[in-house]
Amino acid sequence: MTSRRALVIKTGEALPSLVAERGNYEEWIIRGLGLPRESVDVAAVFEGDPLPDPSLVSGVVITGSSAMVTERALWSERTGAWLVGVVESDLPVLGICYGHQLIADTMGGRVEKNPRGREIGTIDVLLRAEASDDRLFSGLPANLRVHATHVESVVELPSGTRCLGTSDGDPHQVLAFGENVWGTQFHPEFDAEVVRRYIGSRRETLIEEGLDADVLYENASDSPHGDTILRRFGAFL
């Protein structure tokens, strides 16, 4: 009998300089989950990797990406169609940034350019009262310090979705799509160094958009909250 395995769906690459020095999204995520690397499969769907039969999967994490859900790339649409079966199978799923948006889009929500503008840096996410009854977020501090970088957002929620957390830059930072499927617009796998590198790489664009890149860089700080979320999710797999 084949045992089920955890799956990371890789939807893009981190900054090349970070990949060279510190590894890529999937490595940060797997480390955060607290799982041995050899126990987790990775499907780089943006490069054409196939997706397994959901019956072989114990749970799924979907990474971030520099791509946009609204681009409707064939690999993204294919992944979204596959996710329908996974959600119906009641498997634990965590979507991060692009993954968060892809789940919402797949389940009937709407993703667009964030009407509040780009959100980047270390941010405060305020958990709502609904989070106290959620098995992934219950017991966490009401104010989470986490890291974000995105220009698109979930602007309309799928029917039945619970919003568990908000930020000044995005009212839908944490979503629960049923009892076992979550999305975070922020990156729980990032640390302060990673988000500083993203701020530095986008410095000219940030200035053009009216953001203070220096303040964003200086305000980046480490927090255990992202690691806690990943470790909790890892226990479900």
pLDDT tens-digit readout, 29-45 = 999 999 999 999 999 99
Question: CB count, 10 Å around CB of 227?
Answer: 17
Q: Give the CATH number, domain containing residue 77.
A: 3.40.50.880
- Total number of domains in the chain: 1
Closest CA to 147 of 211, 209, 227, 31: 227
* Domain membership of residue 151 as a residue range: 5-234
How far apart are the two ends of the chain, measured CA to CA in Å? 18
Q: What is the pLDDT of residues 152-176, one digit of tens each?
A: 999 999 999 999 999 999 999 999 9
The residue type at 37: R
Give the whole-number percent of the chain exceeding pLDDT 70: 99
Q: Calculate helix-pair angle for 25-33, 225-234, nearest 10 degrees.
A: 70
pLDDT of 1 higher than 50: no
Query: How confident is the model at residue 3, as a pLDDT?
Result: 87
Question: Which residues are annotated as catalytic?
Answer: 97, 187, 189
Say if residues 71 and 77 touch (Cβ distance below 8 Å): no
The DSSP H or E segment spanning 163 is: strand 162-167
b/e map of 19-46 (b: 16 or more CB within 10 Å)? eeeeebbbbbbbebbebeeeebbbbbbb
84-89 contacts at long range (C-beta below 8 A, 24 or more positions apart): 85/54, 86/54, 86/57, 86/60, 87/177, 87/178, 87/181, 89/54, 89/55
Q: What is the pLDDT of residues 79-94, one digit of tens each?
A: 999 999 999 899 999 9
